[in-house]
Amino acid sequence: MAGLLGKITAYARTPAGQRVIRTAAQKAQEMAKDPKTRAKVAELRQRAGRRGQTPPAPPTA
């Protein structure tokens, strides 16, 4: 696997690799600003926080 990681690192240092990284970073920043994406992340954080816990009992009337 070290060979593969070395190839990826070498590509990342090339001008084409730098363009790919820059484009991906810009796309990630745009997605981070999107309210829909923020809502999805908040929902996933809540789910992850509840993992392993029993769900609350339904209210009895």
pLDDT, tens digit (0-9, with 9 covering 90-100), for 12-42? 999 999 999 999 999 999 999 999 999 999 9
Q: What is the pTM of this model?
A: 0.57
DSSP 13: T
Which of these, 2, 22, 26, 27, lies nearest to 12 by C-alpha position?
A: 22
What distance in Å separates the CA atoms of residue 14 and residue 17, rounded to the nearest whole number?
A: 5
Say if residue 10's pLDDT is above 80: yes
What distance in Å separates the CA atoms of residue 47 and residue 10, rounded to the nearest whole number?
A: 38
